[in-house]
Amino acid sequence: MNKNRESNNSIPEDHPRYQSLTYRHKIIEGMKNLIVAEAGLMAHGRGETFDYIMGERTNKPAKKAIEAAIAVFLLAKHPIISVNGNVAALVPDELVEFSKVIKAPLEINLFYRKEGRIEAIKRVLKNSGAKKLLGTKENKMVEIEELSSNRRKVDPDGIKKADLVFIPLEDGDRTEALKKIGKQVITVDLNPISRTALWADITIVDNIIRTLPLMIKKARKLKELSQDELQSILENFNNKKNIQESLDLIIKYIETQKTEAFK
Ligand code: PTJ
């Protein structure tokens, strides 16, 4: 194989940051196709920064949070997966597969409701094999009063009636609102001190591109467990402590880089 072969997005496959640049390209393409909001580019950049200072790998606290998250999913009566533009652009196949394995529907829920975005996201998820999508019929939507952003518009058969809402890569105020109306919340957020990360019941501090495949694997495994066994996973999980462990890893990584990077 020609080591310098370029893929169709002009990124040489032997580039040391090939994977990161490929996902960056997906976000850019997604923005051109209306899947991703303009602000989604900045959100992605912020995520990259946190990923960088955690060594760009799924750390132990993230693995613990993934296990707890799957236990919560399997114990929930009406779980739902909320999909925004960035997630749809980065991991559409994995979203659809996870939805099938964990038996939770996908609901498109956007902060920036620009004309054509719902259709664009619907298209990408259908191409990945989604059969049923919630949040796509404007005249059917109801509102969550506690929320003033566009995210207040939800599907009555999805987020509205859910007891558990999975909100990966989320902006500030929704987690707080969802908690106030009694929902359980799971998030994936590379920023361990974002408002969403701090308010969620389970915070997976990791990159969604690594997390979702691991969640699918874990779901297949934990499906075999009894309700009591799932409960005991939760009893041994402390979200606050887990976030603090992620922060410790960042501190440790930077401390190490302080010497390693200059060798
Ligand atoms: O598609 P829309 O209209 O619903 O809008 C989606 C965005 C992401 C633009 C919107 O929700 C937003 O502005 O979000 P924020 O406030 O930028 O927060 C997104 C969070 O996700 C930040 O804390 C980022 O660090 C984090 N993040 C970004 N990329 C990743 C990530 N976390 C995990 N994996 C990533 N790949």
Per-residue pLDDT, 8: 52
What's the 228 CA to ligand 1 centre distance in angstroms? Answer: 34
Contact 210, 188 (CB under 8 A): no
Contact 35, 120 (CB under 8 A): yes
Pocket test for ligand 1, best of 84, 86, 176 (most atoms within 8 A of CB): 86
Per-residue pLDDT, 194: 97
What's the 40 CA to ligand 1 centre distance in angstroms? Answer: 6
Could you list the beta-strand ranges (E) of the chain: 79-83, 106-108, 133-134, 142-143, 153-154, 164-166, 184-188, 202-204
User: 215 in ligand 1 pocket by Cβ < 6 Å?
Assistant: no
Per-residue pLDDT of the chain (263 residues; tens, 9 = 90+): 444 444 456 778 888 788 888 999 999 999 999 999 999 999 999 999 999 999 999 999 999 999 999 999 999 999 999 999 999 999 999 999 999 999 999 999 999 999 999 999 999 999 999 999 999 999 999 999 999 999 999 999 999 999 999 999 998 889 999 999 999 999 999 999 999 999 999 999 999 999 999 999 999 999 999 999 999 999 999 999 999 999 999 999 999 999 999 98
What's the 172 CA to ligand 1 centre distance in angstroms? Answer: 10
User: 188 in ligand 1 pocket by Cβ < 6 Å?
Assistant: yes
Per-residue pLDDT, 6: 45
User: 205 in ligand 1 pocket by Cβ < 6 Å?
Assistant: no
Please state the atom number of ligand 1 nearest to the C-alpha of residue 208: 34
User: 169 in ligand 1 pocket by Cβ < 6 Å?
Assistant: yes
Rounded-to-10 torsion of CA 97, 100, 104, 110: 40
Q: How far apart are CA 62 and CA 12, in angstroms?
A: 30
What's the 196 CA to ligand 1 centre distance in angstroms? Answer: 10
